Amino acid sequence: MQISIRNIGSGKGVILPKPLLAQAGLEDQGTADMTVENGAIVLRRPAKTARAGWAEAAKDVAKKGGDALLMGESSNADDAELAW
């Protein structure tokens, strides 16, 4: 498939057909990772950030009361009796 490279301001751009974006899994993406590999411009779905969404999930768990300790608090009251 050949496409036109167009002037956009001081840069260049291309219009990607929807079926091509769908085939690459990019149809619903607002961004893409772009690299040059072996002389080819390659677009990929952005990599998910490690632990993305964990903070919101933890807040939801806490809000629902699911963050209670399973074994309760442990005390150090008997530590003085331990022989090291």
Query: What is the CA angle 53-43-56, rounded to 5?
Result: 5
Per-residue pLDDT at 84 exceeds 80: no
In tens, the pLDDT along 1-47 reads: 899 999 999 999 999 999 999 999 999 888 999 999 999 999 998 88
Burial class (CB in 10 A: 0-12, 13-18, 19+), 43: middle
CATH number of 1-67: 2.10.260.10
Confidence of residue 62 (pLDDT cuts 50, 70, 90): confident
- Residue ranges of domains in the chain: 1-67
Contact 27, 20 (CB under 8 A): no
